Structure 1
Amino acid sequence: MGLPISVFVSVALDKQVEHNLEVFEAAIAELPEVMECYLMTGDHDYLLRVVARDIEAFRRFLMDHLTRIPGVSNIQSSFALNQVKYLAALPLPDADRP
């Protein structure tokens, strides 16, 4: 598809209040590079999966979009080196398995 780079991005907001969450989520909904977005527990507020054509395209996404969302205080990116396992089907209960 021409988007070989997958990046997992952890984002922390300066305050986890309803208004900041709504602003962030509305901004993320408009960014087609963001394939998945989860509100998280722990050190960061959100975990994103972002796809990009190359590292320069990801850098532009980061600088032109993600860092400009009001309330974002910290961003940490991890590049996926290899997809080891990916399933789309849910593991439904099997009557034969305990």
Structure 2
Amino acid sequence: MKNSYNELDEVDLRILALLQDEGRLSNARLAERLKLSETPVWRRLRRLEDEGYIKAYQAVIDRKKLGIGLVAFVRVTFANHAGEQPHQFEEAIQRIPEILSCHNVTGESDYLLQVVARDIESYGDFVSTVLRRLPGVAEIHSSLSMREIKSSNRLPMPGRQN
């Protein structure tokens, strides 16, 4: 079983790149773009899924059209790192849809969150009723996005020029 991108060949990387750009490509269209027959492309695609290179397929939705106008980057600091609180915090984060990402980071804070909300008022409510009540949270520092310059989930493919 392959578990390192170093073991992926150029065709595998091209499949991943094409699907990042257009996740709804049919196997036939994918094979056409790769200039290969459908069966080998289907096998490669299944292998990339089975080995976890492709975790899921999803649509990219315009958050503003859903009325989600605010993005906040939130630094969370713990007073005490011992015991179960960090683990409980991380489990709780998984169940909160407003938190798009959570990273355990180095530096002055322990975690960096990306949070979305309808507006500043709803974000304030979220901080008061959700974030401050999470296990272990001692300090919260928010930076609100004034303007989004780039937002992407697309990863650079190893060995490919951008």
TM-score normalised by L of structure 1: 0.89
Question: Judging changes above 3 Å, is the alpha-carbon distance between structure 1 residues 18 and 85 closer, same or farther for their aligned structure 2 residues?
Answer: farther
Q: Which has the larger radius of gyration?
A: 2
Classify the secondary structure of the residue corresponding to 1:26: helix
> Is the 8 Å Cα contact of residues 86 and 135 (structure 2) preserved in structure 1?
no
TM-fit CA distance, 1:2: 1.1
Aligned partner of 1:8 in structure 2 is: 73
The residue aligned with 2:109 is 44
Displacement of 1:17:
2.9
Query: 4+ residue runs of structure 1 moved beyond 3 angstroms?
Result: none
Instruction: Tell whether 2:129 aligns with 1:64.
Output: yes
Give the counterpart letter for 2:109 in structure 1. H
The number of equivalent residue pairs is: 96
Matched residue of 2:84: which SS? helix
Q: Specify the SS of the correspondent of 1:31.
A: coil
Give the structure, 1 or 2, with the largest relative contact order (CA under 8 Å, sep 6 or more): 1
Q: Name the counterpart of 2:138.
A: 73
Percent identical pairs in the alignment equals 39
Root-mean-square deviation (CA), in Å? Answer: 1.4
Q: 1:5 touches 1:51 (CA, 8 Å); kept in 2?
A: yes
In the alignment, is the contact (CA less than 8 A) between 2:71 and 2:116 conserved in 1? yes
